[in-house]
Each structure stands twice: as structure tokens, then as C-alpha cells.
Structure 1
Amino acid sequence: MTDPRLILLSPDDNCLIAAARLEAGTQLDIEGETITLAKTIDLGHKVARRALVKDEKVLRYGAVIGHVTGAVARGEHLHTHNLESDYLPTYTHDAGHAFVNH
């Protein structure tokens, strides 16, 4: 069982989403393991569902959103300090060309 303040968006995800602001020191149950938060996690931020190893891909909604830059413990905050985006631009913008409407 996982704490109801954490949302699993897809069964394939290795992160959970905070459904409320979770203060440092809060105890959470993540799939049967009790975790004490080291830092406050804001509403909508990601939490590791399980331990992750350096360069492991992070899945949200079942899709890769990035990779961790170091080892991450279960229940640890996933954000810009330990998560690097893997998003690729879907288009390029060339400021040197103007679009002309005929």
C-alpha cells in the first residue's frame, strides 16, 4: 500500500506525484516501506517510487521524462538537483527566416 498523498500515474512509473505539500520529517508508506522525508516536497513534485541508480531513466505517465544524475533513494525528491531532462525539441526555430502569408 502506498500513502494516499502520493499518486501513481501509470503502473510502469518509477516516480510518484505529491498530492499535497509534504513537510520534511513526514513519514510516508511507499509500497510497504516507511520512509521519512529528509526535505519538504511541494505539491505536484516527484518522489522516487523505488531506489534509482545513476543514469536510470525516470518514467512518468509511462514515458521517459529524464534520467537521474546520481543514486536516488526510495522516497527522495526528484527534481532539477538530481534529474536531468531527456526531452528533445520537436521542431527547430530559425530566427533568420520569416514566414510569409500569401
Structure 2
Amino acid sequence: MNELLILHSDDNVGVLKNAVEKGVRQVVRDRSLVVSDSLSMGHKVAIREIRKGEMVLKYGVCIGLAKSEIPAGAHVHLHNLESRYTQIEDMETGQ
């Protein structure tokens, strides 16, 4: 069963619908990937390789830039993602 929620054709991450264990195989867009960490529901997983500096797209929206190369199946979070949320909050508050 595929545990990754992908809502937009441009997305390069999927969101876990349920917890998964390290090593679980997922099929995304006719390609197979292996989840590299045990993760709980709601975490993001790269559904293809994401290059350093590339936009990370979730639900068709850029949520940040990759701080490093992110292989398919890897957990995508603050350790390898430069979030745009802080920048957007700063723009909204005029900082």
C-alpha cells in the first residue's frame, strides 16, 4: 500500500498518510523508492532526487530550498530544507 500523499504533478515530496518503518518500499509514479528512516504520519519524503538549491514542492507550492542533495526516499525536514515559512512570515509582518 502506498503511504505517500501527493496532490500535485510538480511535487517532489510526498506526505506520509501513516507511520512507516525504515526500509519500506513505496511506488510513486511507476518508480520504486525505499524510505530511509522510520517516520510518523505527516512527515515529508523525497519522491525523487532533489538537488542542492532546488525548490522543494509540496501540494504544488514551494516550501523551501534543499540545503543539500536529498536522495529519493529520504526524510525532508529542517536538517536538509531551508524553509520559506519564516521568510513569508517576515514579509507579512514587514520585517
For the criterion TM > 0.5, the same-fold answer is yes
- Inter-partner Cα distance in structure 2 for 1:31 and 1:62: 16
- Name the residue aligned to 2:82: 84
How much does 1:16 deviate?
0.6
Q: Is the 8 A contact 1:30 1:75 kept in 2?
A: no
Assess if the C-alpha contact under 8 Å between 2:25 and 2:34 holds in 1: yes
The corresponding residue for 1:31 is: 29
Tell me by how many angstroms 1:43 deviates: 0.5
Report if aligned partners of 2:33, 2:47 keep a CA contact under 8 Å in 1: no
Alpha-carbon distance in 1 for matches of 2:10, 2:31? 19
Partner of residue 61, structure 1: 59
Task: Let me know the Cα RMSD of the aligned residues.
Answer: 1.6
Q: Is this contact kept in 1: 2:2–2:26, CA < 8 A? A: no
Matched with 1:96 is none
Paired letter, 2:93 = Y
Q: Which runs of 5+ in 1 are unaligned?
A: 94-102
- Percentage identity across paired residues of the two chains: 33
Say which structure is richer in helix.
Answer: 2
Unaligned stretches of 5+ residues in structure 2: none
**Aligned length in residues:** 91
Secondary structure class of the residue paired with 1:11? coil
